[in-house]
Amino acid sequence: NRRVILKEYVEGYPREEHMELVRGGEVPLRLTGGEPAGSVLVRNLYLSCDPYMRPKMSRPVRESYTAAFVPGEVLTGYGVARVVDSSDPRFKAGDLVWGITGWEDYSVVTPPASKLLAKISHGAGDGVPLSYYTGVLGMPGLTAYVGFHEICAPKEGEAVFVSAASGAVGQLVGQFARLAGCRVVGSAGSAEKVELLRSRFGFHDAFNYKEEPDLDAALRRRFPDGIDIYFENVGGAMLDAVLLNMRVHGRIAVCGLISQYNLADGEKDAVRNLSAVIAKRLRLQGFIEPDHKHLYPKYEAWVLPYIRDGTIAYVEDVAEGLENAPKALIGLFHGRNVGKQLVRVADG
């Protein structure tokens, strides 16, 4: 059984040396009986690389909403797996599940497993790839749905801006905005990504923020009448430029601030244009996906037909093998992923 452990707390950008692939231990074919009652043994198939894993690699800090990883222990995160053995009657061998698992070949999910894992009722064979449960049908999908529909309450005809727009969450926000009858513009960090936004995801306009460093001018050009809704994924200079371009009574869903995750406290960007929140009577609201799990069935029922009929496209970036998981995770912070980054550990 191979597993990826955190070797030491990370300061600055994560590097491969911060993690280690440890080999050893029998491949478990059954629960040994020594685990707590209600445990579930799973074979991991796909692992999700998510930006929130980076703050968990730092020493615990006051404002974090999930516990830090522990050096020497296996990393945990979202994934798709097959149940091998279970002492929880809600799961049986052969079931496909998604939820929180370990960065290893096999994991024992300890009780209450039903809080961590959800059964996949329709998988291979129905036109929906299993790996989508790390993305559009998993945590990033619900994040995009909640952040856009619940937090921003969009109205037809409104102007929407999305940063990190080609990523796991952003590509969906753009498509949800288009479906809601909004005019949507996205920013991303390469020509290839900008092209995807326009041609695959139906953004009305898109730009490469690295090639237009005057972000205020870049936004003013695309939004001469201002922005009604900003879906915030990056923070820093982009947030400051957006604040200058918001319309009166605009809404900002603060989903993530990836540009800040690798900076030490003293290095983090200050928000200089916060007074726009008052002048323009903006609503700026942070949210986290775990608070909204109860909306998953509603979201899944809404999005599945769109996936099946091709109305919603989903682009994935698949790294092959557990040994490449650390590199894939690190790539998120250098914009190397094109679409949702995940790792294939084994075939379904």
Q: In the complex, which residues of this chain contact ligand NDP (CB under 6 A)?
A: 50-52, 140, 143, 164, 166-170, 188-190, 193, 233-234, 255-259, 287-289, 332-333, 335, 337, 340-341
DSSP per-residue letters across 72-95: TSB-EEEEEEEEEEESSTT--TT-
Strand partners, 97: 81, 119
**136 Cβ neighbours under 8 A, 6+ residues apart:** 172, 303, 307, 312, 314, 340
Which candidate, 138, 155, 128, 106, places its Cα nearest to that of 1?
106
Instruction: Give whichever of 39 and 175 is closer to ligand NDP, judged by the CB atom.
Output: 175
Minimum gap (Å) between residue 96 Cβ and ligand NDP: 22
Instruction: Decide whether 22 or 338 has the Cβ nearer to ligand NDP.
Output: 338
Is the Cα dihedral 70, 72, 77, 81 positive or negative?
A: negative
The residues facing 207 across adjacent strands are: 187
Nearer to ligand NDP, 28 or 331 (CB): 331
CA separation for the pair 244, 53 (Å, rounded): 31
Between 31 and 244, CB nearer to ligand NDP = 244
Q: Which is nearer to ligand NDP, 59 or 334 (CB)?
A: 334
Least Å distance between CB 203 and ligand NDP? 13
Q: Min. distance of Cβ 163 from ligand NDP in angstroms?
A: 7
Which CB sits closer to ligand NDP, 84 or 168? 168
CB of 317 to ligand NDP, least distance (A): 8
- Min dist CB 25 to ligand NDP, Å, is 31
**DSSP string of 125-136, one letter each residue:** TTT--GGGGGTT
CB of 24 to ligand NDP, least distance (A): 31
Q: Which residue has the tokens 């279970």?
A: 86
Please count the residues of the chain: 348
CA distance 8 to 5: 9
Which of 250, 256 has the CB closer to ligand NDP? 256
Min dist. Cβ of residue 22 to ligand NDP (A):
26
Do 319 and 328 meet the contact criterion of CB atoms below 8 Å apart? yes
Closest distance between ligand NDP and the C-beta of residue 47, in Å? 13
By beta-carbon proximity to ligand NDP, the closer residue of 58 and 233 is: 233
Measured from the CB atom, the residue of 40 and 239 that comes closer to ligand NDP is 239
- Sorted by sequence, the CB contacts under 8 Å of residue 146 that are 6+ apart come out as 287, 289, 292, 295, 299
- List the one residue out of 190, 203, 233 whose CA is nearest residue 313: 203
| Residue 11 Cβ vs ligand NDP, minimum distance, rounded to whole Å | 16
Exposed/middle/buried for residue 104 (C-beta within 10 Å: 0-12, 13-18, 19+): buried
Locate all alpha helices (DSSP H) within the chain, ordered by sequence.
Answer: 113-116, 139-145, 170-179, 191-199, 215-222, 237-245, 275-279, 296-308, 325-331
